[in-house]
Amino acid sequence: MDAPATITNPFLRDWTTPFEVPPFNAIAVEHYAPAIDQAMEIHLAEVGAIADNTDPVTFENTIDALELAGDLLRKVASVFYNLAGSDTNDALQALERDLAPKMARHSQAVSLHEGLFRRIDALWSVRDTLDLTPEQARVLDLTRKGFVRSGALLEGEERERIKAIGQRLAVLATQFSQNVLADEQVEALHLTDEADLAGLSPSLVATAAEAARDRGKDGWVITLSRSLIEPFLIQSTRRDLREAAFKQWTSRGERGGKTDNRAIAQETLALRQERAKLLGYETYAAYKLEDEMAKEPAAVRKLLEDVWTPARAIALADQAVLEELAASEGANIQLEAWDWRHYSEKQRQSQFAISDDEVKPYFTLDAMIEAAFATANRLFGLTFAPREDIPTYHPDVRAFEVKQANGDHVAVFMGDYYGRMSKRSGAWMSAFRGQQKLGGTIRPVIVNVMNFAKPPAGEKALLTLDDVRTLFHEFGHALHGMLSDVTYPSVAGTSVARDFVELPSQLYEHWLMVPDVLRDHARHAQTGEPIPDDLIERLTAASKYDQGFATVEYVASAMVDLDMHDGTTDGTSDLLAAEAETLDRIGMPRAITMRHRSPHFQHIFSGGSYAAGYYSYLWSEVMDADAFAAFTEAGSPFDESVADRLKTHIYSAGGATDPADLYTAFRGRMPTVDALLEKRGLDQPA
């Protein structure tokens, strides 16, 4: 006789693992669906009990109860969706497709529950008489607003239509993401002739050979991971191969066949606009930005244009310099996008005497992880102890217990650093469990996921400076999740306005280039010698190099995103034509492409988190440039009083307070764009 499901399914019993981390080795694909079905049933029963409560409406029996409801569903979904992105397979992807409309229907059953909304609305109408804490008042306001923005005030056909739109958008987002992953599993290049390796460093050749072995192939493979393809585009002296690799990289999602994302993106845009209209907004951008710091599309457009104009001018001037450099080497070419990184690196080496071959040996992965940890220790008193007894979902994942200076437990942190075919591209932070105090003191389980090239066995992983910035960036997000200290789960950690969420991550990048951090942790992989002071000086001097290019490729993507969502362009019938229309209007330099072409722009089409919101990295950078200046003004990058304010008002505060108020509490005022322009070197004439 088979054992009862409640015994055999690990999601339906208590976890006895350290810190109740998911018992990954006990979880199989077949456990997810029945656990989710049962979790949904329990959640709806909990919601029904709140709605049917005949006692007078109170904050405790309505908002507190709602915040605590759905705990089992959060538990199962957090594991499933984390693994669907970081260690997927065919079975998980099939289940993800099946779950997309099902999860959307369930979410709508809660957010469009008429009885539940009546209680929330009744509570909100007398909010000024309730003697709520500031956090409770914000949670009530955000809860009601979330229900209204989901369609709670709609009736009849409009209500049914918004349900259908939500379910369809969930399906499309899943298809878009899976199509990109499928296209990324096709290597950029498979090289079999040593002549094809011209210009490549020994470390890149070794990494490409390892990638080939992983795929059961001879020779060398250049994958579509940024940590592999970007070094190839920089180093390779074979222009034909650079072109082939670049076109493979930038054509993800538009290669025809079943993984082509153009129709999916077009339908997504149309449905988003229809939903916005149903909810009373002129455009989807107006709907989306209402709850962000920017508030309206005009504010976003002004920021992007203020940065675009100087960045474009500098990029065009740099393009002319690179074409002259190519001509001086006998290459009579018109600079193309697959040439920029190659000649830009040569110019950088000439101008600052810096090369990746010189720099990368000082940036080993293990040392840079320790650098991120040590910085958090000096700023916030945190310690990170490896824990071999904490379960992980893949052998490459590392687990750490995070403690306060007094020894109190803060969080579990996991680092998943190497790229693999089962992982989507990019880098991100996520949580297997969030922080809260409403249902007892619950501390988070946070994960950083990246895609660094895995070195051959027995060798150290060497990172580029951009790789290390990514590591520090994502660790800044992780700290935002780990240091969270609020009561309500809905406003914990990174549950903040989209154009505020990048502040803690982008700000943390600044400590990478603090000389003391580099001297302590950037040590040569072979000799153990600390990074020389003159190299630190050259890296610092070069920090603003090629920022015209970096800013243009990013802002162009943000402009395309905004234009498609505020009605400036119509991507609903021809996605690439709309993209081209924006690029033509803003005068996109010929030799630079968008950082994310629309057919693989996962930020805006693999779900709606960054839709009409890709600008938020830049919005947050305005704040992070100004925020780090607080340490400079105090005379030390580790000034204790500034670090205390930073922890209290930024890293620990979650979304329990309006983000503008949080920033003002930390800095004493709101920032201007000037600090960002100076940071990127865009305040100088081209």
Handedness of CA 598, 601, 607, 608 (dihedral sign): negative
List Cα–Cα distances, 318 to 106, 211, 581, 676, in angstroms: 52, 34, 24, 20
User: Angle CA(250)–CA(508)–CA(455) in degrees, nearest 5?
Assistant: 55
CA 146 to CA 140: how far, in whole Å? 10
User: Angle CA(100)–CA(102)–CA(106) in degrees, nearest 5?
Assistant: 120
Nearest to 301 by CA among 158, 309, 41: 309
Determine the straight-line distance between the first and last CA of the chain, rounded to whole angstroms. Answer: 77
List Cα–Cα distances, 586 to 300, 573, 593, 604, in angstroms: 15, 21, 13, 20
- 8 A C-beta contact, residue 362 and residue 531: yes
DSSP state of 511: G
CA 318 to CA 327: how far, in whole Å? 14
3-state secondary structure of 296: coil
CA 155 to CA 356: how far, in whole Å? 60
- 8 A C-beta contact, residue 300 and residue 294: yes
- 8 A C-beta contact, residue 296 and residue 289: yes
Question: Within 10 A of 54 (CB to CB), how many other CB atoms are there?
Answer: 4
CA 11 to CA 26: how far, in whole Å? 10
The active-site residue, picked from 67, 187, 345, 474, is 474
Encoding tokens for residue 171?
A: 């399906």
Residue 20 is among the residues annotated as catalytic for this protein: no
CA 669 to CA 314: how far, in whole Å? 30
- 8 A C-beta contact, residue 548 and residue 314: yes
CA 449 to CA 117: how far, in whole Å? 37
CA 236 to CA 338: how far, in whole Å? 10
3-state secondary structure of 605: helix
Catalytic residues: 474
